[in-house]
Amino acid sequence: MNPTYTWFTIGSEETKRGMCCGTGHQPKKHVIDIMGALTQDKTDFATWLNRMPNINPIISLGGELKEKGDGKPPSNFRSRDKELNENVVHNLQALIMKTKSTGKQSSIFVNTIPRNKRLLSFNIGESGSFKVRVDPKFALYTEEYITKTLNEFLGKFGIGTEQLLKIRESCKGAKYNTYLIDMISFLYQIVNVKTEGSKYFEKEYRVPVIYREQDNPSEIYMNKVTDTSNAYEFMVPKDESIENIYIDFVEAISEYDNPVKRAIRHYVNTHYVYRWTDFDVNDTDDAFTILMILFAYRCKPERLTKNEDKIVKSIEEQMEFWFDQL
């Protein structure tokens, strides 16, 4: 599989029905979803960011917030390549600062959880099969049930043993292990569709600071502050939300339509997501997240609307390069 950093769009830019300026339509909410190290050239990223409509997009970050001294920044906030790393830290800081460019800060959501709090982990074995490890605290499902459900989900897209052996190499750096955390992160994005965000998120006030030390790669940390006047408000997952999100994960890959799949469809139908993604750079969870979205539409019992059909076709077209490698 070819490691690929790219922008991937999810949804439709068309307005949604509603009352706006007497037109009967209102703009969709736009989301900038950073789910890989933002290696794009600094000038190109700045140009792209400045061309964004003045609509206060929601920012979604796929990386744990760490202060200086908490260990290395998460992998999505850095790069091993020194030159690309400069792009990553600069672009991330610019993105966060952009949220205050119109006065009131637009929302920043952190849609990931620390590794020591993740309830499921997966290994792709030499035989091309998944092995699931379930944290004892997550006793609702057995390893056998989750393994069966995951394999059946992938089978709907023609992914079996032969394909998993190719996909497996994307996880080689982690000894063929994965948390499929991008799938969890996307489910955190949609929780406001089902319930109030306050049940899942809490506020933290931090400031992004870049540290440049001699001969070492630059690092960006999100330092906590007591004076919130110049800080940025981040919405971070509550610990008590984690089990519910993992229940949603199992429901999202299960065979039948359910409230989680309906929430995915509603979110995608009413938002336009610019997703920076790192297909097969160090994991396979980016591609599986997109498959989870497609699966939600495939499981819809009613016929897709014209707009839904357009959304699905756009996603499928963008995924052709990935399926061609299988």
Give me the percent of the chain exceeding a pLDDT of 70: 93
**CA gap 61, 252 in Å, rounded:** 21
Asked if residue 131 is part of any domain, the answer here is no
* Tally of domains in the chain: 1
Residue 161 falls within a domain, yes or no?
no
Q: Is residue 255 part of a domain?
A: no
Burial class for 214, CB neighbours closer than 10 Å (0-12, 13-18, 19+): exposed
Residue 36 structural domain: 4-115+188-241+266-324
Residue 258 covered by a domain:
no
Block residue for tokens 């032969």: 162
Q: What is the per-residue pLDDT across 271-319, written as a single tens digit (0 to 9) for each?
A: 999 999 999 998 999 999 999 999 999 999 999 999 999 999 999 999 9
Pair of tokens at residue 154: 């992938």
Structure pTM?
0.94
Angstrom distance (rounded) from CA 202 to CA 165: 40
pLDDT surpasses 90 at 218? yes
Q: How far apart are CA 276 and CA 208, in angstroms?
A: 20
SS3 70: coil
DSSP, collapsed to helix, strand or coil, labels residue 139 as: coil
What is the pLDDT at residue 51?
87
Tens digit of pLDDT for each residue in 9-66?
999 876 655 544 444 556 788 999 999 999 999 999 999 999 887 668 899 999 999 9
Look at residue 109 and tell me if it is in a domain.
yes
Contact 92, 221 (CB under 8 A): no
Q: What is the pLDDT of residue 26?
A: 62
Q: Which helix (H) or strand (E) holds 323?
A: helix 306-324
Residue 298 lies in a domain: yes
Residue 178: which H helix or E strand, with range? strand 177-178
Span 162-184, average pLDDT: 96
Residues paired with 210 in a beta bridge:
220
pLDDT band at 77 (very low <50, low <70, confident <90, very high): very high
- pLDDT (tens digit, 9 = 90+) per residue, 96-132? 999 998 778 989 999 999 999 999 999 999 999 999 9
Q: How far is residue 149's CA from residue 132's CA, in Å, rounded to a whole number?
A: 11
pLDDT in tens, 221-276: 999 998 888 899 999 999 999 999 999 999 999 999 999 999 999 999 999 999 99
Q: What is the 3-state secondary structure (H, E, C) of 16-53?
A: EECCCCCCCEECCEEEEEEECCCCCCHHHHHHHHHCCC
CA distance 131 to 182: 18
pLDDT at 19: 40
d(CA 276, CA 6): 6
Question: 194 lies in a domain?
Answer: yes
Residue 192 CA to residue 150 CA, distance in Å, equals 25
303 located within any domain: yes
